[in-house]
Amino acid sequence: MASSSFQAPKGTRDIFAPQSTRQRTLIDLFADTVERANYGQISTPIFEEIGVFLRLGESTDVVTKEMYDFEDKDGRHMALRPELTASVVRAFVQHRPTLPWKVWYEGPQFRYEKPQAGRYRQFTQVGIEALGTSDPELDVEVISLAADFYQRLGLRDVTLLLNSLGDPTCRPAYLEALETYFRDRIGDLSEQSAVTLETNPLRVLDSKRPQDQPIIDDAPLMADYLSPELTEHFGRVRSGLDQLEVSYELSPRLVRGLDYYTLTTFEFAANALTSSQNAVGGGGRYDGLAASLGGPDTPGIGFALGVDRILLACDAEGTFPEPTTAPDVFVIDVSGANVALSLTAELRTAGFTADRAWDNRSMKAQMKASDRSGAPYGLIIGEDEVAANSVTVRDLRGDTGQQLVARDDLISTLLGLLDPK
């Protein structure tokens, strides 16, 4: 803790068992959920040419203020990925897989933000992206998969917020109306919102300042400006969600932070999280992104879910507990003959998880260690056992006592007592 010693960089943390095990379990559950829908895993580099991310939008903090960018030794301007959609679409444009293309991912992302609980400079997201069709039923599939996943985790109090942001054919008229509306009231807006208005009127809707609320409440709605086709698309998304019994709230003010979103946009808020960092996931359509990255004009939709925040929400709801990690057996060796060394290796080869005590400690100390390990059985080897070429198998959890087992029968005896992992 002294200033001369190192600590994890601001906004980052060390995660170890059992939390790390829990995180991996969560990711496994996510993989299972989306692989049932035929999404395949994609793994992209953790850094890209910065241009890949500049398409996220010039009015977003993620791009303008929060990028971890650097020059590599050849002078290329690179950046650690602040999100994964852009990387996935870059991979799509580069490889041109057959359509529709459905992928899922997990991994760390980086944003230079001021940290807070649930907001880190390195954070983990899981997500999916699907490119190649504008079918509104794809929107429904994507959204419902996220909802399914929360449900499988045991999260109950998650609200799905839904909106349509229009597209280049109808959004400009809305933006104009919105800008005019806010300009007429700029004197009543907060200073911050007045600045935001200059770069992106849409995002003023996102302001949480009390001063802005009455003005935002009466602002024009995108829904009134959607083209007939998009109104139809949005209607089919909603009826599809109804059909699958995925409940949602229409949220006409929902504005996503990244500029590439079009049409369907959504966000999941965990109500158990009391802080303002309660968005545990979000996503939407980005029909122009592939083209803007130099590829064919291909529609796409996806979402990203914040693993760190989801786990905080699980804690708040008291669900998805940490897995208990205990070995099957724990070896106590007081023989002075190094039996533990070969015995643990033999047990592991046979499929058991096995740990042991070290440093030739006393019987009492080794028994204590075995108890603490959580293992259901302790294997005791002393001089007597060595002489009899056997092992004492002791029940550490129940009351069945202990039995002397011939070394040759040990594995089969243990197989009768527990299932190897």
Which residues of the chain form contacts with RNA (CB under 7 A)? 1-3, 7, 9-11, 60-62, 66, 83, 111, 113-120, 123, 125, 192, 196, 203, 206-209, 256-258, 267, 274-277, 279-282, 304-306, 308-309, 334, 361-365, 367-372, 380-385, 392, 394, 396-397, 402
Q: How far is the CB of 53 from RNA (least distance, A)?
A: 12
Output phi, psi for 102, to 5 deg.
Answer: -125, 120
CB atoms within 10 A of CB 144: 18
Nearer to RNA by Cβ, of 341 and 363: the residue is: 363
**Which is nearest to 266 in space by CA: 149, 393, 139, 403?**
139
Q: How far is the CB of 188 from RNA (least distance, A)?
A: 15
Nearer to RNA by Cβ, of 25 and 277: the residue is: 277
Nearer to RNA by Cβ, of 170 and 280: the residue is: 280
Q: How far is the CB of 181 from RNA (least distance, A)?
A: 18
The pairing of strands 122-131 and 101-110 is antiparallel
Which helix (H) or strand (E) covers residue 162, if one does? Answer: strand 158-164
Three-state SS at 337: coil
Decide: 178 and 242 in contact? Cβ < 8 Å: no
Q: How far is the CB of 192 from RNA (least distance, A)?
A: 5
Go through 358-394 and write b for each residue having 16 or more CB atoms within 10 A of its CB, e for each that does not.
eeeeeeeebbebbeebebbbbbbbbeebbeeebbbbb
Decide: 258 and 58 in contact? Cβ < 8 Å: no
Give the C-alpha separation, 413 to 117, whole Å.
49
Q: How far is the CB of 350 from RNA (least distance, A)?
A: 21
In the numeric block, the tokens 């010039």 are attached to 58
Nearer to RNA by Cβ, of 308 and 328: the residue is: 308
Nearer to RNA by Cβ, of 211 and 243: the residue is: 211
Give the C-alpha separation, 83 to 123, whole Å.
10
**Which is nearest to 261 in space by CA: 301, 204, 225?**
301
Nearer to RNA by Cβ, of 27 and 99: the residue is: 27
Nearer to RNA by Cβ, of 170 and 367: the residue is: 367
Which helix (H) or strand (E) covers residue 110, if one does? Answer: strand 101-110
Q: How far is the CB of 317 from RNA (least distance, A)?
A: 16
Nearer to RNA by Cβ, of 12 and 227: the residue is: 12
Q: How far is the CB of 295 from RNA (least distance, A)?
A: 21
Token pair of 92 as six digits:
């799509």
Give the C-alpha separation, 211 to 216, whole Å.
10
Q: How far is the CB of 277 from RNA (least distance, A)?
A: 6
